[in-house]
Structure 1
């Protein structure tokens, strides 16, 4: 699994680290450019220089975080051949890293949703892939809303995939 490690001493690296934390903890709309710049100890001009806009920084961070998630889910499926177990691995990763908001919402304004595409491919059904991904994201939203992660994890584990593609026991 690839881990992107920014050089935290560079302005760009500090912005990325600040954005990962803030966009993970709070919805995109609640995070301001000024807060990100202050936390990264740079000017707002540095943010615009490196990423053109807040959405540019968000897209950069989201893509990296999503790649890490997809690596974990793909690795778990390769080991277990169980899509739901792999989604639980992804859930545990997102919760442990504090990526509740950045991964709990569908990517916008992106043309495609790589998580939904991966899950649909794994279960060999586009509609089922969409439903499972929506459930997974709802699980992250529940944790973000204060529902204990262990309760949400148990509910996610209770979902079973049968009849299409790989099945969960």
Structure 2
């Protein structure tokens, strides 16, 4: 089944989504001005409201799609390990590299609107290691902190990867 919001390439909805991904990806929810976004997309704010209803709805469409792409990558990596929790380190590193590659670190670390449950948190919460200790709480907050730190140029991707590896070495 095709998702309702998938736009026709080159349509106004497509242009809005592309610009919105870039803007929310680098500035987060609070940093995006809907008028500036419309101008950058060569659209009116009315076109954005027509297609998405609000800035929050547009943000949720973008964030949900990016979170699903991250979860899909994590699932793919984890599937090659005998025990799913063994693949968490590799999955988080793969997801981090992807987030940096498409410039969505700020988006994924952003609190945003909290209109819908976070797909990545939901997915990672299913993995508890070390005798069922809820380590996912630490992993989720650490991963988001690493994303935020990369988005703010506090650390590099390589430092983020090293931090994930350090966390897993400490958790054994």
Q: Does 1:116 align with 2:121?
A: yes
Note the residue ranges of structure 2 that are not aligned, 5 or more in a row.
none
Instruction: Note if contact 1:117-1:129 (Cα within 8 Å) is conserved in structure 2.
Output: no
Shift of 1:106: 4.2
Distance in structure 1 (CA, Å) of the matches to 2:37 and 2:9:
14
Instruction: Note if contact 1:107-1:113 (Cα within 8 Å) is conserved in structure 2.
Output: no
Aligned runs of 1:64-79 on 2, under 5 Å? Answer: 64-79=65-80
Distance in structure 1 (CA, Å) of the matches to 2:127 and 2:169:
11
| Number of residue pairs matched by the alignment | 161
One of 145, 153, 167 as aligned partner of 1:159: 167
Q: Does 1:93 align with 2:101?
A: no
RMSD: 2.2
TM-aligned CA distance change 1:106 to 1:72, over 3 Å: farther
Deviates most, 92-101 or 5-14: 5-14
Structure with the higher fraction of residues in helix conformation: 1
Aligned runs of 1:1-169 on 2, under 5 Å? Answer: 6-80=7-81, 81=84, 82-106=87-111, 108-123=113-128, 127-146=134-153, 147-160=155-168
TM-aligned CA distance change 1:35 to 1:8, over 3 Å: farther
Q: Secondary structure at the match of 2:168?
A: coil
Distance in structure 2 (CA, Å) of the matches to 1:111 and 1:42:
27
TM-aligned CA distance change 1:107 to 1:157, over 3 Å: farther
Q: For each residue in 1:17-71, what CA deviation from the matched residue of structure 2 results, as whole angstroms up to 9, or x when unmatched?
A: 0010010111211110111111111110000000001011000111111110100
Q: Secondary structure at the match of 2:135?
A: helix
Report the TM-score, using the length of structure 1 for normalisation. 0.86
Distance in structure 2 (CA, Å) of the matches to 1:130 and 1:60:
25
Deviates most, 11-20 or 139-148: 139-148
Shift of 1:110: 2.6
Q: For each residue in 1:119-169, what CA deviation from the matched residue of structure 2 results, as whole angstroms up to 9, or x when unmatched?
A: 121336584222211110101111112122211211112211788xxx7xx
Note the residue ranges of structure 1 that are not aligned, 5 or more in a row.
none
Greater than 6 Å deviation, 4+ residue runs: none
